[in-house]
Amino acid sequence: MEPEATRKDTIAVLHEEIDALLFANKMYWEGRTLSHESHAEYRRRQDRLELIRRKLIQLNSPGSRCVPHTVHEGK
């Protein structure tokens, strides 16, 4: 697969994941099940959203290189 096609596919997958995470956050706030466990899950989703946003910035920057379809937390 060509690098540009892979980059576009990766961006599309990340946008789908953002949609799923935002939907889960909406359910969290509407359900008002504010247990420690649900809040921890919410914080993990927020951390993941931030990671995805940073990856999208990287992918949309000039001269970005081909990356795999999945984004893993790499610290």
pLDDT in tens, 25-63: 999 988 866 789 999 999 999 999 999 999 999 999 877
Assess if residue 65 is contained within a domain: no
Say which residue, 34 or 8, is predicted with more confidence. 8
Assess if residue 66 is contained within a domain: no
Comparing 23-27, 50-54, 62-66, 67-71, the range with the smallest average pLDDT is: 67-71
What pLDDT, on a 0 to 100 scale, did the predictor assign at position 75? Answer: 35
pTM (predicted TM-score): 0.74
Side-chain-side CA neighbours of 33 within 13 Å: the count stands at: 11
Reported as a pLDDT band with limits 50, 70 and 90, residue 1 is low
Assess if residue 20 is contained within a domain: yes
Assess if residue 41 is contained within a domain: yes
Assess if residue 43 is contained within a domain: yes
Cβ atoms of residues 6 and 67 within 8 Å: yes
Assess if residue 49 is contained within a domain: yes
Assess if residue 69 is contained within a domain: no
Domain total for the chain?
Answer: 1
